[in-house]
Amino acid sequence: MTDLARVDHHERVSHHDTGPEVPAVLSVRGAALAYGDRTLWSGLDLDVRPGQFVAVLGPNGAGKTSLLRAILGTQPLTAGSIEILGQPVRRGHPLVGYVPQQHLADRGTPLRARDFVGLGLNGHRFGLPLPSRERRRTVDAMLATVQATPLAKMRIGDLSGGEQQRLRIGQALIGKSRLLLCDEPLISLDLYQQRAVSTLIDQSRRDADRAVIMITHDVNPVLDMVDTVVYLAAGQVRIGPVREVLTSAVLSDLYQTPVDVIHARGRIIVVGLPDIAHEGHEAHPHPVRGRR
């Protein structure tokens, strides 16, 4: 594993145009996480530079969400360290935006789309939410960025899954975040909405030199955007570009069973994953759970 990670390090330096002199937004060193005697992952070394798009893949229960939570500072590591722009992680870091695993807002949720996006700006501060022209302008601009201007005054509970997801991304981006963490942002969206949301995420890293870390069970919708894959499985980690990690050899080695990775028509299909990893990398046509 470490071999591969090291290979990747050199690879990325030449591969990525930002170069090694640009300080990493996120650096993870020797990180390990265990619950009791069960080790989710260990020996995780990762540098994420501005503009980089990292996809975190792996079966259910491999510790993908725990990794995001460790970066958010809400999950302490068992070993190792995580730094954001050279400082140890802490909860509520102003430069980190977070889009949690989707749960749709209740119909009666007493908030409009623009208020929901505005929470990302200063929802964590104490005191009265005094309206200001500047705040209004910032929220309006973000609504436009996530193509939600016509939704501004609608209740979030009345919006479809894709619309709510775009607003969540707006909420995560509005605080000038340098690192965007997304947990399965495409789940339960139809292909059209998947495209809209992933394009939005991709643009946000290009426009603002923001790094993106996205957990996904299906790499295909973001295949042309991903620079680096972090594959968590069976307590181990593989890190590298898509073509180096998503291979029959690497996955067979990880899962200790023959796994075939098929590249076909610009898509990646993984066949033969053991039961613990029954969710493959095939595109699942998830039904839209929106309630319109």
Partner 1 sequence: MTPDLWGELFRFDNYAELLALVQNSIIAGAVLGLTGGLIGVFVMARDMAFAVHAISELSFAGAAAGLLLGVGVVEGSLAGSLAAALLIGVLGSRARDRNSIIAVLMPFGLGLGILCLALYSGRAANKFGLLTGQIVAVDNPRLTALLVICGIVVVGLLVVWRPLTFLSIDPQVAEARGVPRVAVSVFFMILLGLAVAVSVQIVGSLLVLSILVTPAAAALRVSASPLVVPLLSALFAVVAMVGGIMLALGGSVPISPYVTTLSFLIYLGCRVVGRVQDRRPRLPALVTAP
Binding mask 198-217 for partner 1 (x = CB under 8 A): -x------------------
CB of 292 to partner 1, least distance (A): 8
Per-residue binding string, partner 1, 156-195, x by CB under 8 A, is: ----x--x--x-x--xx--x----------------xx-x
Closest residue by Cα to residue 46 from 149, 184, 179, 155: 179
**Residue showing tokens 């807002």:** 105
Per CB under 8 A, 119 contacts partner 1: yes
E-strand ranges in the chain read 26-35, 38-48, 53-57, 79-84, 87-88, 96-99, 179-183, 211-215, 228-233, 236-240, 260-264, 267-271
- CA separation, residue 148 to residues 28, 70, 176, 253, 292 (Å): 35, 31, 18, 44, 16
When asked if residue 75 is in the footprint of partner 1 (CB under 8 A), the reply is: no
Q: Which residue reads 């050199």 in tokens?
A: 10
Shorter beta-carbon distance to partner 1: residue 147 or 248: 147
Check residue 74 for interaction with partner 1 (CB under 8 A). Answer: yes
**Is residue 75 within 8 Å of 160, Cβ to Cβ?**
no
- Binding to partner 1 (CB under 8 A) within 79-98 occurs at 91-93, 96, 98
Residue 137 token pair: 């302008």
**Minimum CB distance to partner 1, residue 244 (Å):** 28
Write out the H or E segment, with its range, that includes residue 119.
helix 113-122
- Nearest-approach distance from CB 153 to partner 1, in angstroms: 8
Which residues make Cβ contacts (< 8 Å) with residue 108, sequence separation at least 6? 157
Answer yes or no whether residue 122 interacts with partner 1 by CB under 8 A.
yes
Contact residues for partner 1, defined by CB under 8 A: 72-74, 91-93, 96, 98-100, 105, 108-112, 115-116, 119-120, 122-129, 131, 147-148, 150-151, 154-155, 160, 163, 166, 168, 171-172, 175, 192-193, 195-196, 199, 292
